[in-house]
Structure 1
């Protein structure tokens, strides 16, 4: 038997995802600002690419949150 589809707390979960993703994005940017000279070019590119994916995820989360509201 499958679980019932309870979407009552979707907005709260989405908000939590947004906050966590924003925090991770900011931490990575601060890390890059502080340690850029110590990192190799490929590691910098990887972290920048990861942050770009986070920005895309944030846009998606925010759209979903608007739909839930």
Structure 2
């Protein structure tokens, strides 16, 4: 899953290590590579990617509704 590291590196550099978060840039093809890798992992683990995504969305929507923030606070 080196793709995730590449995205994090690009995001960190383009946002000047958090100094300018509005300048965040990540190449679309890098995101595509990461998505491909995640789908392959799902297939290997017999995980339904759509179900996993739907579950995550429910969780984040509930957090936003309850706290106004998507983060878990941990």
Instruction: Indicate the TM-score class for this superposition, using the shorter chain for normalisation.
Output: 0.3 to 0.5
Task: Give the TM-score normalised by the residue count of structure 1.
Answer: 0.35
Task: Give the TM-score normalised by the residue count of structure 2.
Answer: 0.33
Select the structure of larger CA radius of gyration: 1
Higher relative contact order (CA 8 A, sep 6+): 1
